[in-house]
Amino acid sequence: MTDEPTTAASTPDSSDEPSVFAQGARYVLVGGTSAALELGIFWVLHHPVHFDVRLSNIIAVVIATVFNFILNRTWTFNATSHVMRSAVLYLIIWSLNLLFTTSVIYFANKHGFSPDIAKFFTMALVTLWNFQLWRKVVFV
């Protein structure tokens, strides 16, 4: 038996980890799909069903969040941390995001602004700060 030198072929392949660019592309795809799902559910609940904007937003966010968590954890960021750790951190940030978006949408609607435009605006803001939080804190 001889000791063979370690070669690039025998070392763990770091290319299994997605690059920041690949993560960003996946995040945008998952986020875009989640956003479309959330906006669609929000619109249906608020307009044809005539639910209150707050309830419409909460239901839409919950459904889209479950979808988003599963895909981001397993596909976008290939998380290796314990799922409960990721879920707890995700839910803390999600709760703050939900409070922020619902408050802004309610305030906008109460003051005569379109809740649909407020919904879109708040989703864009949340998307911007969530990428780094998911990448650096939640899905490590």
pLDDT reported for residue 12? 45
The answer, yes or no, to whether residue 18 has pLDDT greater than 90, is no
Span 108-120, average pLDDT: 94
Predicted TM-score (pTM) of the model is 0.68
The answer, yes or no, to whether residue 78 has pLDDT greater than 90, is yes
Contact 93, 133 (CB under 8 A): yes
pLDDT grade for 64, boundaries at 50, 70 and 90: very high
The answer, yes or no, to whether residue 135 has pLDDT greater than 50, is yes
pLDDT reported for residue 15? 55
pLDDT reported for residue 1? 52
Quick: pLDDT tens for 19-37: 999 999 999 999 899 989 9
Q: What percent of the chain has pLDDT over 90?
A: 73
Q: What percent of the chain has pLDDT over 70?
A: 88
Alpha-carbon gap, residue 25 to 31, rounded angstroms? 10
Among 91, 100, 78, 77, residue whose Cα is nearest residue 27: 77
Quick: pLDDT tens for 85-101: 999 999 999 899 989 99
Alpha-carbon gap, residue 32 to 98, rounded angstroms? 18
